[in-house]
Structures are given as C-alpha cells and as structure tokens.
Structure 1
Amino acid sequence: MTRLPQIAWLSDGRRLHLQDGPIDLVIEAKGRADGVHAAHEAAAQRFTGLLGELCAELPELRSAAVTPTSLKGVVARRMHAAVAPFAADCFITPMAAVAGSVAEEILGAMLGAATLDRVYVNNGGDIALHLGHAEHFSVGLMDRPDRDGVMRTMRVDADDPVRGIATSGRHGRSFSLGIADAVTVLAATASQADAAATVIANAVDLPGHPAIIRMPANELQPDSDLGARPVTRNVGVLSQDEIAIALESGAECARQLFDRGLIEGAVLQLRGDMLVIGPKNIERQRRRPLLLENAVCA
C-alpha cells in the first residue's frame, strides 16, 4: 500500500506544503490560474510514493558513488549523476544530493503539466527554480541555518544560468566533515548545487585542531552514509587567522569547482566572516541588500 504524504496549503494560500518523512517541500508557482492548479496537482501526484522509491534503493544510495551505477530510479540516478564529478577526489555518496534532486524532480513534474512564469520548490533550503522571461528570485542568506536572521540577500534573474541553490554546513540537517557555519552554492540545477555545497562545506576545515570536537558519524546515527568517518560536533574558540585559513581552504575548493563549470557561485560563512566566489553580481549583494523572498537554510 502506497504511503500517503501530508499535503496542505500554508496560511498565505499561495504556497503548497508537501511532507513525507524527512522530505519537506514548500512550493510556489506563478502563472495562469488553470496552469498553476494543474502544476500543483502534478506536484502532489509525483510526490506521492517518491520516498518509497528512494528507500527501495537506500543501501546503494548510502554507499560511495561508483561508475557505472546500478541505480534504477530517476531521482536516484539524478543523485548519482550530481555527485559523480566529485567521486574520484573524495568520499561522497548519492545522499549528498538527495534534497536538491527531489526538489528538481517535483519542479520537472510541475513544468511538464503547465506553462508557468515562475516556480520554486524549496526542500529545506535546497531550491529548484524555474524563471520565465523577465522573472527573478531573491534569496536570503543566513549566517547559520539553525538560527533566525538574514545576513545578506542575492537575486537570481531569468537570464542568469542559476536554477539551483543549496546550503550545507555543520548546523544543517546532515552531518558535515568541515566546520563551516553555512556554504550556499548556486548552480545550473538543484542537484548539482546540493552536491557541491556538501563538498565545499567539508573543505572549510582545520584538520587536527584541538578546539574542534568530532565523533564517528555511525555513533551518532548508526545508518549514516558516512560510516565511521569523524563528523564535526562542536567548534571552540578560533583566532581570526584560523578562521581565515579555514575559509580559504573551502574557497579554493569552490574556485576549482567554478573553473570546472560545476557551480556558478558560492558564499562561505564561518564565525561571522564571509567569502564569496563567483559572479560579480553576487559580490554586489554584500553591500546592497535586495528584497527578501526566501531564506536559505539546510
């Protein structure tokens, strides 16, 4: 019997909330009323049973990404494709791209059902976007995703190549090998942004530093895809030089991904300090805040 997710409108009457287990989506579509209705119906239909599809292949999704893959599901294969570019350089599993891949799948179902002006699918801060002509999307950056308050905002325009936004860091829903408070990545798709945010956040680090407390992931969560790898649990006092070194380590990783065409930009944050990698229009937002429409948190 197919498990039924929770599907309801939020209080504003514009945004649809879909929740099933760990998957928690907020969706908003703009366009003709009949098209928006059809798109929301398609989102709900595709969402139903999606968690079960992923659970059916969970053992391989929690294993190190290898090529070729035996994964069958369309979302599972998208997850694998998103992490594959990183598999030769670091340990990574398809789970590093699960949130972005699910958001992307629901967005695709909506666009397959109707012609829309603008859509976003926000899966806990990992966002898949569609922007029609002259449309834009403004997103808020938090200094860390477990606290309220927006530090900066940035705007994605229709003619930008960005259609995916994702955030990772040690305060998010998943474990991190690094010490970043938050790393927000802009990429061509949500699945690509999700995978890259994980990799860059892991690279913001000070290996062996005595103020950083780590524990094996499987001691905190027995079925973690990270196994016994040490994940960050707490970060003590760091000097400004140490913060700068950790951020630069992540920034160098982001620059390499930018040069390879895997990301369109990244914002790295640690202890109130921030580094921006990528297009100049992102850097401008550090000095000229824009209207906030959505807060990124992972």
Structure 2
Amino acid sequence: MAAQRMLLADGRLHLQHGPMDIVIGAEGDGQAVRQSHAAAWQRFRGLLDELVAELPALRAPMAGRCPVQGPVARRMWQAVRPYRAVYITPMAAVAGAVAQELVAFYQRPGVHRAWVNNGGDIALHLTASERFRVGLFADLDQWPRALATAGLAVDGVFDITHDSPVRGVATSGWKGRSFSLGIADSVTVLAATAAQADAAATLIGNAVDVAHPGIVRRPANTLRDDSDLGAIEVTVDVPALTPAQAQLALAAGRARALDLQHAGLIVSCVITCQGQATSTDDAAGRFVFLDGAPASDALQETETA
C-alpha cells in the first residue's frame, strides 16, 4: 500500500505507510504550517522504502563502522552507538529517528511550535517563549477503556519549555508494540533528540526486572520471525508482583537511567511498574504525577521503539 495522508479536523496531519503511523501538529502562520506539512509529506512518501533498502544492516547488532547511508538510518545507528557493549540494533531508535527527520520541516520562520508523534515517540520544535505539555498514559492495557470514556485522562505530565534541552520524548515497555527484555509498564525518557530518547528508553526498559518464577519470556523470533532480536528472550507475561518486588524492578531501571543521565545521554526518565513509579532528578523537563490530568498537546502512549 502506498503512503497515505489525511488532514484531521483539528488541523493535525496524519501520515501512514506500513508500520509508520504518524500524527503531526503545528502552530503558527497558516501558510508556513501548510508549507511545512507539504514538505513533511514529500519526505515521508519515500521514507519507508529508504529504510527497507538498508534493513539487513539496521537489524544487525552494532559492530565496526557505520554500515548505512541514508540520513535516518545513520541517525538510528548513531543513537544506539553508545550502547554497543550490549546486544542492540539500530532498530531500537527507528520510531524516534523518523519523527526527528520530519520535525525538521517545521523549523522554519512562522511555525511557532510543532510535534511529530510516531506511535508514541515524539520529536518537538519550540521557538522562544513556547512550551509543551506532554501527557503520559502508563498502562497500555487500560488504553481501550480510556478511549471509550469521556475526558481522556493521563497519569502525569511533562512540561517542556523552549529553554529546556529536551526535544525528544520516547517510551518503552513490555506491553508495547515492540519487544522488551524487562517488565516495566512504561519507561519514558526525555532527551535532546527523539532518536536518543528512543534508544535510551529501550535500554532502560530492558533493565527493569526482578527475579520471579511467574515472569514468562519467549525467544523473540518465535513471536515474530523477522525480529531483530533473534532468539533473545523477551517478556510476554508478568504476574502480579508484591510492592517490594515492583520496587526492586524499578530500582534496577532507575540505576540504569541514572548512568545514562550522568553520561549526558538523557535528560530525565520516569519508570512505572504495576502502579508504582520512580524517576531521575530532573531540572529541565519536570514530570508531575496527576490524578485525572487532562491530556493536551502531544499524547505519550506506552510504545516501544
């Protein structure tokens, strides 16, 4: 099926091609926004084919020099390069890298702010005095019920201002559309770019774990034969944990997140597991847990890269 686009009733642009399902919002001068939408659409039309052409290299674990040529493929490779000591492929950053590619078309005079939401991984554009409030919906199992009720609420919000270094938000979790080695319901990362946030969320999500005989894992290639994880076992079921067990899992993930924060690879991280949560110290994009917070701007779902 060819790439498709639709202008939604509220002015957002919906782009879809194969696994890529993207919603873009932009505010500012009407002509500038329309020009940005047109440019983003032209870039999007050939993007999937461009990535598929380099898919074998993108699905291979990190080793040696960068083997890919396309700008998005190279961005994916660079985003996961800091984690090459563990098994990881550039596919861990694909959603964020695509969002980052498209948001560049909104960085023009007349567009005050824009967001590109690629399945929950978000790239941002902000001009002076502008801000975003990004909502976190932590438990994907509750998503259908939430959509069916009036007044969709989120579990918390990130406030991101123009002077913050954050321009990318991504979430990983074992219930998402891609696989995780860990048991987090959600690991939401704020970083300088969407590709960096995407890769880091995957790594931190893998670290959220606790010894429990009821956790079920299966080789990734038995669940999806084209998985870039091969025979590595990924989480398919997590039983109810005690509060102490959930806290141990969260502590493991937080330790990994702090390592990445100290290395300058992320700005902030929030991790949730079975109704409990933890976060890193954050001075640039503060997260606030809310009870029934209204969703606004860009909605951050629990999705993996």
Greater Cα shift, 191-200 or 30-39: 30-39
Letter paired with 2:122: I
Hey, what does 2:106 align to over in structure 1? Answer: 110
> Equivalent residues in 2 for 1:51-200 (5 A)?
51-88=48-85, 90-111=86-107, 114-148=109-143, 149-200=153-204
Q: Is the 1:15–1:26 Cα contact (8 Å) retained in structure 2?
A: yes
Letter paired with 2:7: W
> How far apart, CA to CA, are the structure 1 residues paired with 2:103 and 2:14?
14
> How far apart, CA to CA, are the structure 2 residues paired with 1:146 and 1:177?
18
**Any unmatched runs of 5+ in structure 1?**
none
**Identity within the alignment, %:** 48
TM-score by length of 2: 0.92
TM-score by length of 1: 0.94
Indicate whether 1:28 and 2:25 are aligned.
Answer: yes
Greater Cα shift, 272-281 or 93-102: 272-281
- Shift of the alpha carbon at 1:185? 0.2
Q: Is the 1:165–1:190 Cα contact (8 Å) retained in structure 2?
A: yes
Residue by residue over 1:75-120, the C-alpha shift from the partner in whole angstroms, topping out at 9 and shown as x without a partner, is 00000000000112x1110000000000000111332x65421010
Structure number with the bigger relative contact order (C-alpha 8 A, sep ≥ 6) is: 2
**Any unmatched runs of 5+ in structure 2?**
144-152
> How far apart, CA to CA, are the structure 2 residues paired with 1:195 and 1:146?
23
> How far apart, CA to CA, are the structure 1 residues paired with 2:140 and 2:199?
17
Q: Is the 2:159–2:286 Cα contact (8 Å) retained in structure 1?
A: no
Letter paired with 1:130: H
Of 191, 204, 211, 2:208 maps to: 204
Letter paired with 1:197: A
Hey, what does 1:38 align to over in structure 2? Answer: 35
Q: Is the 1:46–1:109 Cα contact (8 Å) retained in structure 2?
A: no
Of 3, 6, 26, 1:5 maps to: 3
- Shift of the alpha carbon at 1:30? 1.1
Q: Is the 1:128–1:163 Cα contact (8 Å) retained in structure 2?
A: yes
Residue by residue over 1:4-33, the C-alpha shift from the partner in whole angstroms, topping out at 9 and shown as x without a partner, is 311001232x10000000001100111111
Indicate whether 1:228 and 2:231 are aligned.
Answer: yes
Task: State the SS of the aligned residue for 2:135.
Answer: strand
